Amino acid sequence: MIPVCPTTALPPGEAIRVEADEPIAVFNVDGDFYAIDDTCTHQDASLADGWLDGCAVECPLHASCFDLRTGKVSGPPAKIPVRTHRVVVQDGMVYVQPGTPADGAA
């Protein structure tokens, strides 16, 4: 597990990029935390820089939307989903488990 930050450092509507083998983006959606690959599958934008809209993030470059729960892409130009990663919140800290898909993700 990689420690990300204290929960208070990632308020609702915000995202943070975590360095791992492949960088990971962690989002706070109204108190629920989600983690996906940070690099867009279209080109090389950082999804942590994107726009959070409900449970989806819109890529900051060409606006493909990825579902934070499943990693699925809902519109062009990206064609490939991103991976999701399990997030664990313990004692006020946010952690990610790289490579373990989020519960309920396809």
Contact set with other proteins (CB under 8 A):
29-30, 43, 45-46, 48-51, 53-55, 58, 60-63, 76-77, 79
- Check: CB of residue 38 under 8 Å from CB of residue 25: yes
DSSP line for 31-81: TEEEEEESB-SSSS-BGGGSEEETTEEE-TTT--EEETTT--B-SSS--SP
Cα angle: 14, vertex 16, 22; to 5 degrees: 145
Rank residues 60 and 101 by Cβ distance to other proteins and give the closer one. 60
Least separation in angstroms between residue 18's CB and other proteins is 15
Q: Compute the least distance from the CB of residue 62 to ligand FES, in Å.
A: 3
Nearer to other proteins, 50 or 71 (CB): 50
42 binds ligand FES (CB under 6 A): yes
45 binds ligand FES, rule: CB under 6 A? yes
Contact between residue 84 and residue 35 where contact means Cβ atoms under 8 Å apart? yes
Residue 64 touching ligand FES (CB under 6 A): yes
